[in-house]
Amino acid sequence: MNDVKKIVVIGPESTGKSTLSDAMANELKTVWVKEYARQYLEWLGKDYTEEDLIEIAKGQLASEDESVNAASEYLVCDTDLHVIKVWSNAKYGRCDKWILEQIAERKYDLYLLTYIDVEWQDDPLREHPKPEERSYFYNLYRDIVQNSGVPWVDVRGAHEERLKIAMDAIDEHLK
């Protein structure tokens, strides 16, 4: 469906992206694309390599492409390839050209940037728990969405407030 509006929930680790994505999909009566990296890294069972980031990117895009056919008017994406670019730059100081090309080709309709006011949840797959790291990565994502040319909204507060901000953003920018 070419007329499906794609909404990306983006932000640092442990900022409620999956919780918000799930709640939005329920509210919008549609499907959401889970973060493929979690599934891949659980399957991998060891530290990821730079090459794994390409496989994660391919899996994320495949999940998105499959989900768009099941979506109603909206598709909620729990992340996009900007997250993989940020990981790659942080860990390896560079990002694969293919990932950058895919970022340039993919089009989205709205970004929802999750703030770091959600308490950190320890998880063996998460890497940057320190407040200064969370702030650093939040600022990177804020720069990405500000320069994306796509409408974006900062999402903060308790779960109910975040969902209201997200739904209001959809009403304002996509309806």
Does the predicted model carry a pTM greater than 0.85? yes
Residue showing tokens 């991998």 = 44
Coil vs helix vs strand at 9: strand
**Cβ(112)–Cβ(153) under 8 Å?**
yes
Task: Please state, as a whole number, how many other Cβ atoms lie within 10 Å of the Cβ of residue 168.
Answer: 11
pLDDT digits (tens, 9 = 90+) for 100-159: 999 999 999 999 999 999 987 766 666 667 889 999 999 999 999 999 999 999 999 999
pLDDT of residue 113: 98
pLDDT of residue 172: 97
- Backbone φ, ψ for residue 155 (5° rounding): -115, 120
What's the token pair of residue 146? 């500000």
Quote the number of domains for the chain: 1
pLDDT digits (tens, 9 = 90+) for 9-49: 999 999 999 999 999 999 999 999 999 998 998 888 888 89
Q: How far apart are CA 175 and CA 170, in angstroms?
A: 7
Residue showing tokens 């990981």 = 87
CATH of the domain at 158: 3.40.50.300
Task: Please state, as a whole number, how many other Cβ atoms lie within 10 Å of the Cβ of residue 19.
Answer: 16
Find the domain containing 142 and state its range: 5-174
Q: Could you tell me which of 89, 94, 78, 85 has the C-alpha nearest to residue 39? A: 78
Q: How far apart are CA 99 and CA 85, in angstroms?
A: 7
Residue 65: pLDDT band with limits 50, 70, 90: very high
pLDDT of residue 130: 83
Coil vs helix vs strand at 59: helix
Mean pLDDT across 161-172: 98
What's the token pair of residue 162? 């975040």
pLDDT of residue 109: 98
Q: How far apart are CA 156 and CA 163, in angstroms?
A: 9
Task: Please state, as a whole number, how many other Cβ atoms lie within 10 Å of the Cβ of residue 139.
Answer: 12
pLDDT of residue 45: 82
pLDDT of residue 1: 43
What's the token pair of residue 147? 């320069």
- Which of 6-10, 21-25, 68-72, 94-98 shows the lowest mean pLDDT across its residues? 68-72
